[in-house]
Amino acid sequence: MNSGGKNLILNSWTLDINIVHHAQKMHDLTSQLKKDGRSIGFVPTMGALHAGHISLIEKAKAENDIVICSIFVNPTQFNDLKDLENYPRMPEADIAFLKSAGCNLVFLPTPAEIYPNGPELLDISFGFMEETMEGAFRPGHFKGVATVVNRLFEIVQPTNSYFGEKDFQQLAIIRKMVALLNHSTNIIGCPTLRESDGLAMSSRNMLLTAEQRKSAPLIYKAMETAKEFIPHQSPAAVIELVKRYIQKSSYLSVQYFQLVNPDTLEDIKNWEEGKPVQGCIAVLTEGPRLIDNIRYE
């Protein structure tokens, strides 16, 4: 591609958003961009975008020449087909959202483009990291996540890839996958964005009833309140305090709350001075399942 063609494409990307549906076309575009010395910031999503996603786009935009966002509801990471069917899909609104945020290119593939030979899971083991917390209640979930993220990395070839810290275990798994498979992209975790009442922003929040939504901020409030008891109470006692606090609401039920090593995800039995601890939680409602986490220094 000559420089005139390159500038024409880049100028058009600054004026409007480009949508690509085919994996090969996306791979060809990013290959050319990399040959031209352009850095690529990548934000993989499942759509139903909110301000948390846009914060990832904005960070990617600040640190890269070109920003690409994928929208793909990945079937291999859902244990419950009903959950897959109910997952919110709003591509037109998402594209408008991304355009306003300054995203250059949207990758909007079909399952056949991502899995041309069928959804065969990546043959890789994360050991304990995929068996604890989310893995204990959603067996195979992280294999599905790793499979799709690996495939997207192969297609998009990003310089830097951005993930929200709200899905803390997922972020740890992706970092591990990148190390095991020697992907060249840099994994950048971005802070969880929250509503004014503390609820972590999530695509699933729109599925909450009014009563559930009113109770949901108890999740973060409980984890924040736990700071008052660290290190005066044992980890086990703090876990029970958080659970009881949340379950004051009849609309919420704690599936798990664990205090773990941020790197290995192993449970913390005792506090150690100077070592951070990650509190990770999943809460059930009669509708969507909510997850969140907090860092205790």
* Domain chopping of the chain, boundaries: 3-190, 203-296
pLDDT score of 7:
37
Tokens (6 digits) for 90: 């709003």
Look up 141 and say whether it is catalytic. no
- Using CB atoms within 10 Å of the CB of residue 49, give its burial: 0 to 12 exposed, 13 to 18 middle, 19+ buried: buried
CA distance linking residue 121 with residue 147, whole number of Å: 6
CB neighbours of 246 closer than 8 A, spacing ≥ 6? 218, 219, 222, 252, 254, 283
Q: Determine the Cα–Cα distance for residues 115 and 120; give it in Å rounded to an integer.
A: 8
Residues with Cβ within 8 Å of residue 54, at least 6 apart in sequence: 97, 101
Per-residue confidence in pLDDT tens, the chain, 297 aa: 333 333 334 444 444 579 999 999 999 999 999 999 999 999 999 998 999 999 999 999 999 999 999 999 888 888 777 777 877 788 999 999 999 999 999 999 999 999 999 888 999 999 999 999 999 999 989 999 999 999 999 999 999 999 999 999 999 999 999 999 999 999 999 999 999 999 999 989 999 999 999 999 999 999 999 999 998 999 999 999 999 999 999 999 999 999 999 999 999 999 999 999 999 999 999 999 999 999 998
* Residue 58 tokens, joined: 């904005």
Right CATH number for 203-296 from 3.40.50.410, 3.40.50.620, 3.30.1300.10, 1.10.287.610?
Answer: 3.30.1300.10
Catalytic residue among 21, 53, 183, 232: 53
- pLDDT score for 16: 59
Nearest alpha-carbon partner for 43 in 105, 85, 87: 105
We find that the CATH architecture of domain 3-190 is: 3-Layer(aba) Sandwich (3.40)
